[in-house]
Amino acid sequence: MAVSFAVTVSFMIALRPLAARNGFVDRPGGRKRHGAEVPVIGGIAMFAGLFAGLLLADVSAESFLSLLAASTLLVVIGLIDDRYELPVLARLASQFAATLIMVYGAGLALQDIGDPFGTGTVGMGSFTLIFTLLVTITMVNAFNFVDGADGLAGTLAFIAMGAVAIVAGPDHPATAPALIVAAATVGYLVFNLPIYINRKLRSFMGDAGSTLLGFSIVWVTLGVSQGDAQVISPVHCLWFAAIPIFDFMTCFVRRIMNRRSPFHAGRDHFHHVLMRGGFTARQALALLSGFQFAYAVAGIAGHFTGVADQWMFIAWAVIGVTQRNVLTRISTIRRGARIRERARARVLAKA
């Protein structure tokens, strides 16, 4: 883990002067509210940290080579997209190919979804590949969607990886990759969290980083919830990345209902809801991370206490359907409080 962290930090520093010269910067304007050009180097730095850590870990050759190939594909396409803005179909094609590498190279696939309906374990059978593709592409794009506020995608990924490591235990083959990704993510967050001390070194992960994180979470989650190495139900794993999934599904449905492309960028994400209510970027990060931490704890607790899949799934689905309404309510309360504060200030100024 220390190696993964150190390599990520080193690459974040080393790549910074190269980013501007090669056009790997995020320029302010439109939906982008940052005040200056920000290097988009987090994805390749985390990629370097991930594989430096895996080289020293006890990981099978098949898993290592498959993860290397799939992640390289996603990161390369992500870097090209960060620089030139590829069409949606090109990005989806790379995610499709990466999933095939995972399935046929490492043998990781969604063979069953647990017992979400209380009728017994639901196996995927001949639909295993289709559902694996659907789940993987959804998670990859969920992290791409949620990567719109400093520190958010990285913090949510860190929580998910930590939860997987806790339920897997020290001897499970998925634990080392989960902790290595978590360490690389922390190395990136040093340069991305919205704090004063790093504002001159602020960097973004870009699509290269968000797709890498989403794919890595699918990889380790399948490792602990499927096949002979299964230690937890897939239903409980849903809680580990609840906020990115809820955000993605909410935006997806709302955009389709408004007759917009679900992959078209917009200001309808959870962090936008909070910030329109007057929350700062730091406060929105803290709130959403707090929700995700609570959900991860719920998933872990449900697993270790043996709560049935059907109750965990019902609770997860209810929270997912109401999450945006809850955040909207919090935002409304915050907005009302700010209006009252300004009104009192005006009264005091006139007194």
Q: Rounded distance, CA 279 to CA 275, Å?
A: 5
Q: What is the mean pLDDT of residues 233-250?
A: 97
Contacts of 274 (CB under 8 A, 6+ apart): 283, 284, 287, 288, 327, 330, 331, 334
Average pLDDT rounded to a whole number, residues 83-105: 94
Instruction: Give helix 242-257 / helix 281-305 axis angle, nearest 10°.
Output: 120
Q: What is the pLDDT of residue 331?
A: 94
Model confidence, pTM: 0.93
pLDDT at 37: 84
Which DSSP string do the residues of 28-84 spell out, in sequence order?
Answer: -BTTB--SS-EEB-HHHHHHHHHHHHHHTS---HHHHHHHHHHHHHHHHHHHHHHHH
Q: Pick 345 or 14 by higher pLDDT.
A: 14
Mean pLDDT for all residues in the chain: 92
* CB proximity list for 170: less than 8 A, separation 6 or greater: none
Cβ(284)–Cβ(150) under 8 Å? no
- Per residue in 249-279, pLDDT tens? 999 999 888 888 777 777 889 999 999 999 9
pLDDT above 60 for 30:
no
- Average pLDDT of span 70-97: 94
Tokens of 76: 């390369």
pLDDT over 60 (residue 131): yes
What is the helix (H) or strand (E) element at residue 26, kind and residue range? strand 25-26
Residue 78 contacts residue 202 (beta carbons within 8 Å): no
pLDDT of 196 = 81
Longest dimension (CA), the chain: 75
- Give whole-number Cα distances, 40 to 12, 20, 106, 207, in Å: 10, 9, 30, 9
* Whole-number percent of the chain with pLDDT over 70: 97
Q: What is the dihedral of CA 214, 220, 223, 229, to 10 degrees?
A: -160
For residue 180, pLDDT over 90 is answered with: yes
pLDDT for res 35 = 54
Whether the per-residue pLDDT at 348 is higher than 80: the answer is no
Is the pLDDT at 29 greater than 70, yes or no? no
pLDDT in tens, 53-64: 999 888 888 889
* pLDDT tens digits for range 35-58: 578 999 999 999 999 999 999 888
Question: Is the torsion defined by CA of 304, 308, 310, 316 positive or negative?
Answer: negative
pLDDT of 59 reads 82
Whole-number pLDDT of residue 333: 92
Q: What is the DSSP letter of 22?
A: T
Tell me the pLDDT tens digit for each residue of 289-339: 999 999 999 999 999 999 999 999 999 999 999 999 999 999 999 988 888
Q: Is residue 33's pLDDT more than 80?
A: no
- Say what the pLDDT of residue 351 is: 60
- Looking at residue 233, what is its pLDDT? 97
Q: Is it the case that residue 175 has pLDDT exceeding 90?
A: yes
Tokens of 236: 């409980």
- C-alpha dist (Å) from residue 312 to 115, 243, 308: 10, 16, 6
How high is the pLDDT of residue 300?
98
Count CB neighbours of 253 within 10 A: 11
Region of poorest pLDDT, from 26-30, 150-154, 288-292: 26-30
